[in-house]
A and B are shown apart, each in its own frame.
Chain A
Amino acid sequence: MMKSTLKRVMPQIIILALVLAANFLVFRGFFHVEFQHGRLFGNLIDVLNRGAPTALLATGMTLVIATRGIDLSVGAVMAIAGAVAASAVVGGAHWTLAVLLALAAGAACGLWNGVLVAIFRIQPIVATLVLMVAGRGIGQLLTEGAILTFNDPGLIRLGAGTIAAVPTPIWIWIAVACVVGLVIRRSALGLLIEAVGINQTSSRLAGINARVLLIAVYLVSGLCAALAGVIVAADIKGADANNAGLWMELDAILAVVIGGNSLLGGRFSITASLLGALIIQGVNSLILLSGMPVEFNLVIKALIIIAILVIQSPRVRHSLYLLRASTGPVLRERPKPAPRTPQEEGQS
């Protein structure tokens, strides 16, 4: 089990290692971690810390994409959750209550998406587009268009504080990923989600409650987004419904795709998506450290994404396979020509 997981995420580990190595090449102090004022400092810690929102979103997004869906609304949900948490503490609520309210808002958003997809059978990209468009407006409605600042130390700690010298966001995303990962893989949920993603009709006929599963994955995605929204708000000590989580849905989807998960659903790996999130953050850090003008950030990011995607594109993979095939025996891995009909040979 462990071994197959390692094999699955190997490309992502290699890419991450390369990105980190490149970071080291442009800045020799990259791996240097310092302990100051009861907190760990260093570029590596920064990558882990800054990557927290993307990693959280990617966790939920992986599940959604595994069911052949997509959640475009996570950025907007972040804005709503941040606004809810901020208005709650500003209104005098305890920070734990504020976080709970934010999570409830995220859950409600996830439920909305899930119901549209599972019950009304609306294409996920369309269903979640509604909240993507309207969500930011709802967030602005809550903060009345301004940046709603707060100074509740409890809430701020979630974004800027530390636990055992490690920044809190790192704890949060690792904890969430572990919990979700363990629940998924230690139960049969992973199998059932993959089955629904590959063939929903067959899954339903096999007795899987596809509706509940679909709603559940959008719910998880909403919760993850809410948590990311709280962290971002806590980090800047304010809820900025205009900009919080802007374009984060795209980063999250990218992280999942870089993680080698197919947008067509099915087999998934949360670990690979998390590595994808770290790769994205590593690239951000690389651009920053290399001293290149900030203006080049997006261009370089775009080129790296294109490169990674081209490598993973089915067509290129197929040509690579054929290339290997022409140089060595390929048929070894294929099943024995048991009674397979020629038609099926042709299709597979």
Chain B
Amino acid sequence: MSQSTKLPLYITLATFVLAFVLCAAQYPAMASTRVVANLLTDNAFLGITAVGMTFVILSGGIDLSVGSVIAFTGVFLAVILRDTSIHPLVAFALVLLITTGFGAAMGGIIHYLEMPPFIVTLAGMFLMRGLAYVLSTESVPITHEFYDWLQSLYWKAPGGGRFRLTGALMLLTYVAAMIVLHRTRFGQNVYAIGGSAQTAQLMGVPRARTTIGIYAVSGGLAGLAGIVYTLYTSAGYSLATVGVELDAIAAVVIGGTLLSGGSGFVAGTFFGILIMGLIQTYIVFDGTLSSWWTKIVIGGLLFAFIMLQKGLGWATTARIRLLTASDARS
């Protein structure tokens, strides 16, 4: 990819570095492995969700159902581990199958019935939240020795930071997503559809398969995020993770991906997540700031990045106009 498309990514990266340096300057304790480790652990489920959202947004779509899918996954796991003797790994496989299938079904409806993703995934959001309610309206604790074992896995870094399994899982997801997006035909097709679905189809991109695949990835990753979330909270609750889809979308946009699709990087999303996590950490460190400042600051960042992309867009068109004019004359 060329320099101009990478610019938003660099700006996101620079924003993160600058913000981290500023935070560390004010509270030197923030520059510890402990804070970094917590940043990864606390945001693991959101980070994984945002990967799926990046696929969807790159293709020009949107997935509002992910928050509900996470809650459903949590409740499903909690209930199944409470009421049956299935091994958690089997339950994990089962729930991933369900959520991936659910995503694929939404993709199928979007493609075959030609309905806007916004509305289809909205219905999906209601459906999954509703199914979670049906399973249980109360918070169901998860007690299983396998869970205890998973939670006990961590690498203690010098300085006291505990890098847990979930954080590693998130990093792994990002690496895998990068490979899929940039090194496979499916990934290229995602960008192609995001550029123009119609043109992509004319160029031979299998639109049905790709659209279904994209939403399946988003659903499956939301399921994985749900598993991570149960490891984080040791419970399943149908009212949990309300509004996570918004956070995921915000992270993707702050990460420099165009909401209209076709341009962006999953690496940007990663730094988007870190920036959002950093804001929360800062508010905790500060102690006097209230939690709502998170929303306001994230909203402000969203605005800044949207305006930035708009500005870059204008700059590019102006440059092309100049180029074309000079081409014509040469």
* B is a partner of A: yes
Q: Which residues of A come within 8 Å of B, CB atoms?
A: 70, 120-123, 125-127, 129-138, 140-141, 144-145, 241, 246, 250, 253-254, 257, 263, 293-303, 305-306, 309-310, 313-316
User: Which of B115, B123, B295 is in CB contact (< 8 Å) with A134?
Assistant: B295
Contact at B292–A299, with CB atoms within 8 Å?
no
Q: Across the interface, do B113 and A145 meet the contact criterion of CB distance under 8 Å? A: no
| Contact in complex: A263, B307 (CB < 8 Å) | no
Knowing A126-B259, A295-B130, say if A120 contacts B295 (CB, 8 Å): no
Give the complex CA separation of A254 and B118 in angstroms.
Answer: 11
Instruction: Give chain A residues whose Cβ lies under 8 Å from the Cβ of B330.
Output: none
Q: State which of B114, B291, B306 has its C-beta within 8 Å of the C-beta of A126.
A: B306
Question: Could you pull out 23 A-B pairs where Cβ atoms are within 8 angstroms?
Answer: A70-B118, A120-B307, A122-B310, A125-B259, A130-B302, A133-B299, A133-B302, A134-B300, A136-B295, A137-B299, A138-B296, A140-B290, A140-B292, A145-B291, A145-B292, A257-B119, A294-B133, A296-B133, A298-B129, A298-B130, A302-B130, A309-B119, A315-B112
In the assembled complex, B134 has its CB within 8 A of some CB on chain A: yes
How distant is the Cα of A310 from the Cα of B62 in the complex, in angstroms? 19
Residue among A135, A254, A257, A295 with the highest chain B CB neighbour number at 10 A: A295
| Per-position binary interface string of chain B over residues 122-135, scored 1 when its CB falls under 8 Å from any chain A CB and 0 otherwise | 11111101110110
Shortest Cβ gap from A112 to chain B (Å): 10
Known: A134-B295, A140-B291, A315-B112. 17 other contacts (CB 8 A): A127-B306, A129-B253, A130-B303, A133-B295, A133-B299, A134-B302, A137-B293, A145-B290, A241-B292, A263-B119, A295-B133, A297-B130, A299-B134, A301-B126, A302-B123, A305-B126, A306-B123
Residues of B within 8 A of A140 (CB): 290-292, 295
The residue in chain A whose Cβ has the minimal distance to the Cβ of B293 is A137
Are A131 and B299 in contact, with the CB atoms below 8 A?
yes
CB contact list, B103-119 vs A, under 8 A: 109, 112-116, 118-119
Q: Is B233 an interface residue (CB 8 A)?
A: no
Q: Name the B residues within 8 Å of A299 (CB-CB).
A: 126-127, 130-131, 133-134
Q: When the two chains form the complex, which single residue of B113, B246, B260 contacts A123, counting CB atoms closer than 8 Å?
A: B260
Q: CA separation between A91 and B132, bound complex, in Å? A: 42
Which B residues are CB-close (under 8 A) to A145?
Answer: 290-292
A294 contact set on B, CB distance < 8 A: 133, 137
Contacts of A302 in B (CB 8 A): 123-124, 126-127, 130
Q: In the complex, what residues of A have CB within 8 A of residue B133's CB?
A: 294-299
In whole Å, how far is B62's beta carbon from the nearest beta carbon of chain A? 8
Name the CB-closest residue of B to A144: B290
Cα A137 to Cα B292 with chains together (Å): 5
Bound CA span A121–B260, Å: 13
Decide if B123 touches A305 in the complex (CB within 8 Å). yes
Q: Chain A residue with minimal CB distance to B290?
A: A145
